[in-house]
Structure 1
C-alpha cells in the first residue's frame, strides 16, 4: 500500500513515454513485484526478473535493508540497479 502512489506515477509516465514512441522506438515496460520487505525475497525476485524476464535494470525497493541487498547482488552480477 505504501508504494501505490509511486506505482501510479510510474504508470502515468509510461503512458506518456510510450504514446510518444517509447525509447529508441520501443515501448517501455515496468514489471512490478512485492518484495514483502524481505531482502531474501527481493534477491529472488531480482534474479528472476533479470534472468527469466529479461529485464534491463532493477529499480525500486522502499526499505533500505532491501535496497542494500539488491545493490550488493547487482554489483556482483554487474546489473544496473537504480536506487532513488
Structure 2
C-alpha cells in the first residue's frame, strides 16, 4: 500500500500536469509560450536599451552665427501671411 494516498497522488498529478498543460495550450500571436518568454527576455535584458538620436554639427564653429537650433529653423521656414492671403 502506498504512503501517498489518493489525495496526495491527485495533488502530485495536478502539480506535474498543470504546468505542462499550460505550456502546451498558451499561445500569443501564433507563438508558443517558450518563444514568447524567449523574446521577452531578449528584448528586456539581453539587448541594449534605446539610444536617443544625438548629433553634433562639426561645421558649427566655422559659421558666424554658431549652431542653428531646430526651433530657429522651423520659425524661419514659416512664412507670414501676406495681405492678399489675409483678405481671403
TM-score by length of 2: 0.20
Please report the TM-score for the alignment, with normalisation by the length of structure 1.
0.21
Bigger share in helix: 2
